[in-house]
Structure 1
Amino acid sequence: MVVDFNDQILIPDGDVGDFGAVACDQFSAAPEYWNNLAAVMPAQSALDLILPECFLADADRRIENIKSAAKRMLQSDRFKACRGAVYVTRKTAYGRVRRGVVASVDLSDYDYKSGAQTLIRASERTIEERIPPRVKIREAIDIELPHILLLVDDRENLLKQACESAKRVPLYDGDLRGGGGHITGELITDARALDDAVQKIIKASVSKFGCELFALVGDGNHSLATAKYCAVNNPTPFNGRALVEIINVYDDGLVFEPIHRLVKTDDPVMFMDSLRSAVKGNAKTTVYAPNPIEISVPEDKIEAINAVDKFCETYVKHFGGYVEYVHGADALKREGHFGIEMRGIQKSELFEYVVKNGVLPKKTFSLGEAEEKRYYIEARKIK
């Protein structure tokens, strides 16, 4: 079965706010966010078990600390074990409410390569060089704490109906630090209605898309790719599956936002001249430097993203600087940088595009603001 709604899941004992931390790939250019969070988080939190990407230069030392922290937590009964699925309700600081269900998925049903025909597929291009640091962590400790969000095309709300009709036992209820809003989790131990919903979603995908498809990875593709790598190259009795949160792409609380490109360069005139020469088309977008400048881009928004990315990556490779990926209008306007506004894909376009064309370019869309990303709460033994 592609989804196991009766796997063993570890839940942090005590106040969920004393444990949860946002996905490690957020605030990658803002170490102050993570330092401020570390100053207020109590001991034995998820923050002790993750490597925020802004600290990758210090990866070896931090991974040793993660190994020690994980060992202490397992020895001190920081987690309580339960069996079933977790129905999660998250109210973010932006007033949006979304619902999902946490369960484990079979990694043999997942492939991140473009054009994959598996039941679970990537939605965006996987950057291979981002996998090795995550492999070091996954192979160093006995548990996984995922921030993976799987999106399903569930227009009939089958999974939500199955969750809400099931008997549920409260697991946690609290406020998340770092602007994460409020979260509740409830345990579902009878998986029959959930299993039935999954089968109906897969069956409906054949008429919708012409192939069997259960889910696309909305967030955490590199974490799921890491799990796949470890399952293939260093299998254990438990790591053939990975813990995820499954969310309906049409959930009212799930928003798609475009991800813009922010480029640092020392020669503004050469950058703009080169950008205008390399990227052309019948549509317009705006570059903020920080005042707005209009440029031409391809009319197809995916083609436009590919063209801008190819230019930016080539430019900084030859002339120095760096590229950041940001969302929100304010983030585009940073002194000494060029903010290139991109058009994002809509949630209604996602599944059909990936089935027809393969994965999207990296950083095509964001599921809400940074603080709305999945928090590390549930865990699972992988050794």
Structure 2
Amino acid sequence: MYTPIRLPKLLMPREGIDLSKWAVIACDQYTSQPDYWNNADTIVGDAPSTLRLTLPEVYLEQPDVKERTAKIQDAMQRYQQDGTLTEYEPGMMLVERTTKSGTRRGVVLSFDLEAYDYQAGSQSLIRPTEKTVVERIPPRLAVREGASLELPHIMLLIDDPDRKVIEPLFADKDAFRKAYDTDLMLDGGHLSGWFVPEGKETAALIERLNGLADSETFNKKYGLTGEHAVLPYAVGDGNHSMATAKANWERIKQDLSEEERQDHPARFVLAEVVNIHDDSLEIEGIHRVLFHIHPREVFQAADEFFRLHGGMAYCGDPKSAPSTNVQSFPCMFHGEQVTLCIVDSPWALPVATLQNFLDDFLEKNPKSHIDYIHGADVVRELSQDARNMGFLLPDPAKEDLFRGVILDGVLPRKTFSMGEAQEKRYYMEARKIVK
């Protein structure tokens, strides 16, 4: 049976390095807050750090980005040559991350990029949860093309409500070698890791993960009849990092023989696998506000749009809908609140229903624009303006995220938020991506 999983040879900082300075948050965070990165730079100083191996995206549009990229690639070579990084034997890393949301447990493994496809309509084993913006790939690819190492912040989600796949490993975590145990800078919480070498524990985990791709189990879980491709892994975070790795591999493999492609290190990517049902993962809906509109225009457009898609839209009580297939959205304008009901939507998730309509409306009404809002209070405040209209979305049920990707394809942008910025992955492990 094919499996996309590989046991990586992790590169880890040598003993004696200050890990609180080594570990830095994912590069796509705080993109509008350069002070955060200035503070990180001050904390790190001259100490070895992943800050010197990654490019914070706050600098992507800066004129010195090529110079920064060259320094990163030089630092990668230097850290390998001067002993800053040491290579472990093949294995996996058990990771515990403690933040204000609780303790998140995951496993760092390597995955075959041939099993990942971010294109619309993808049926691959690994798929993004949200739409990939291809325009975001080239500047990231420029960094990776000359890199000898990868330090991705990718999080792959699995749907395991019974917690039988990852969680059993942590019951015996003290039997494994503790690789790191450190506080994280700038309110990042605490990070611990236990290394598990290749052996019966890794084989058992891979077998359990492979079980998620069993078609009979998959169809029973989601109430399907076999018409949908199995989806064991959904990219919960770091999708553009993974898309960049994919683009780099597609570039490299053109010059390789079929035999050389089989085990080339650039074919694989590091990721942390996390159960979406982990108690520390907080999935929150993201609300919408339309600006420079009239409510009558919006309701009329909704009626026309959903009639064209085999449904209907009305304002009122969802219980009065002529069908049990009804999705409802509290919407606000000029101090009023009504409920917009959509009957027989062709989209499984409410957020997909609403976003597809809003995209169509905005395309036809270029004078309007949209913003994505965390917090209902902010939506209510913005909707006091007679020219604005807010839509409240429910927090997605965890089990519905996989169902939405399976049935609707990639979810609309800004479908959900998974944790606060400081709770995103911090870089710790690295891996070679050149021979």
- Determine if the TM-score, normalized by the shorter chain, exceeds 0.5: yes
Of structures 1 and 2, the larger Rg is shown by: 2
Q: Classify 1:330/1:57 alpha carbon distance in 2 versus 1 (closer, same or farther; 3 Å).
A: farther
Of 43, 57, 61 in structure 2, the residue corresponding to residue 53 of structure 1 is 57
Counterpart in the other structure of 1:228: 246
Question: For 1:195-344, what aligned pairs fall within 5 Å after superposition?
Answer: 195-203=206-214, 204-209=217-222, 210=226, 211-235=229-253, 237-260=264-287, 282=315, 283-285=328-330, 294=337, 299=342, 300-309=350-359, 327-328=374-375, 341-344=392-395
**1:144-202 deviations in Å (ceiling 9; x for gaps):** 11110001112232222145447411000011112210010000112121122112222
Equivalent-residue separation in structure 1 for 2:33 and 2:338 (angstroms): 29
Equivalent-residue separation in structure 2 for 1:327 and 1:169 (angstroms): 40
Contact 2:80–2:86 (8 Å) recurs in 1:
no
Counterpart in the other structure of 2:140: 134
Equivalent-residue separation in structure 1 for 2:279 and 2:232 (angstroms): 20
Contact 1:17–1:177 (8 Å) recurs in 2:
yes
Contact 1:85–1:188 (8 Å) recurs in 2:
yes
Counterpart in the other structure of 1:188: 196
Q: Classify 1:162/1:131 alpha carbon distance in 2 versus 1 (closer, same or farther; 3 Å).
A: same
Counterpart in the other structure of 1:379: 430
**1:56-79 deviations in Å (ceiling 9; x for gaps):** 211334323322332332232222
Deviation, structure 1 residue 270: 5.9
- 246-255 or 162-171, which deviates more: 162-171
Amino acid in structure 2 at the alignment position of 1:178 = L
Counterpart in the other structure of 2:102: 96
Q: Classify 1:314/1:155 alpha carbon distance in 2 versus 1 (closer, same or farther; 3 Å).
A: same
Contact 2:289–2:371 (8 Å) recurs in 1:
yes
The answer to whether structure 1 residue 158 and structure 2 residue 165 are counterparts is yes
Counterpart in the other structure of 1:354: 405
The answer to whether structure 1 residue 170 and structure 2 residue 178 are counterparts is yes
Contact 2:293–2:368 (8 Å) recurs in 1:
no
> TM-score, normalized by length of structure 1?
0.85
Q: Classify 1:110/1:269 alpha carbon distance in 2 versus 1 (closer, same or farther; 3 Å).
A: closer
Question: For 1:99-118, what aligned pairs fall within 5 Å after superposition?
Answer: 99-118=105-124
Counterpart in the other structure of 1:80: 86
Query: What SS does structure 2 have at the residue aligned with 1:348?
Result: helix
Equivalent-residue separation in structure 2 for 1:60 and 1:275 (angstroms): 46
Amino acid in structure 2 at the alignment position of 1:35 = N
Contact 2:332–2:380 (8 Å) recurs in 1:
no
Contact 1:162–1:193 (8 Å) recurs in 2:
no
**What is the alpha-carbon root mean square deviation over aligned residues?**
3.2
Q: Classify 1:279/1:16 alpha carbon distance in 2 versus 1 (closer, same or farther; 3 Å).
A: farther
Amino acid in structure 2 at the alignment position of 1:249 = I
Q: Classify 1:61/1:180 alpha carbon distance in 2 versus 1 (closer, same or farther; 3 Å).
A: same
Amino acid in structure 2 at the alignment position of 1:200 = G
Deviation, structure 1 residue 344: 4.2
The answer to whether structure 1 residue 69 and structure 2 residue 75 are counterparts is yes
Equivalent-residue separation in structure 2 for 1:205 and 1:362 (angstroms): 26
Query: What SS does structure 2 have at the residue aligned with 1:21?
Result: coil
The answer to whether structure 1 residue 143 and structure 2 residue 149 are counterparts is yes
Contact 1:88–1:184 (8 Å) recurs in 2:
yes
Gaps of 5+ in 1: none
Equivalent-residue separation in structure 2 for 1:143 and 1:39 (angstroms): 24
Counterpart in the other structure of 1:7: 8
> TM-score, normalized by length of structure 2?
0.75
